[in-house]
Homo-oligomer: A and B are copies of this chain.
Amino acid sequence: MAITLAVDCMGGDHGPSVTLPAIFEFLRHDRDCAAILVGREGDLRSHVDAVAAEFGSRISLHHASEVVAMDEPVASALRNKKDSSMRVAANLVKDGQADAAVSAGNTGALMAISRFVLKTLPGIDRPAICSILPSQRGATYVLDLGANVDCTPEHLLQFGIMGSSLAAALEHIERPSVGLLNIGEEDIKGNEVVKRAAELLRASDLNFAGNVEGNDIFKGTVDVVVCDGFVGNVTLKASEGLAQMIGGALKAEFSRNVLTKLAALVAMPVLKSFRRRFDPRRYNGASLLGLKGIVVKSHGSADQFAFRCALERAAEAARQRVPEKIAARMAAAGVFTVASASTITIGS
Contacts and interface: CB of A to CB of B under 8 A. Distances in A.
A35 B236 CA distance: 42
B230 A191 contact: yes
Interface in A249-274: 249-250, 253-254, 256, 259-260, 262-264, 266-267, 269-271, 273-274
Interface string A231-242: 101111111111
Interface stretch (A55-63, A110-118, A156-164, A215-223): A215-223
Contacts of A134: 245
A218 B245 contact: yes
Contacts of A277: 249, 253
Interface residues of A, number: 57
Contacts of A242: 217-218, 239, 242-243
A97 interface: no
A134 B249 CA distance: 12
Contacts of A239: 214, 238-239, 242
B264 A270 contact: yes
Given A234-B181, A278-B249, A244 B218 contact: yes
Secondary structure call for the A interface: helix
Contact of A231 (B230, B241, B248, B278): B230
Given A191-B150, A218-B242, A235 B235 contact: yes
A214 B233 contact: yes
Interface string A71-104: 0000000000000000000000000000000000
Contacts of A278: 246, 249
* Chain B CB within 10 Å, residue with most, of A191, A213, A218, A233: A218
A149 interface: yes
Contact of A263 (B217, B234, B244, B266): B266
A11 interface: no
Nearest to A237: B214
Interface in A144-196: 146, 149-150, 181, 183, 190-192, 194
12 contacts: A150-B191, A214-B233, A215-B240, A218-B244, A234-B234, A235-B235, A243-B246, A250-B274, A253-B273, A256-B270, A256-B273, A267-B267
Interface of A: 134-136, 146, 149-150, 181, 183, 190-192, 194, 213-219, 227, 229-231, 233-246, 248-250, 253-254, 256, 259-260, 262-264, 266-267, 269-271, 273-274, 277-278
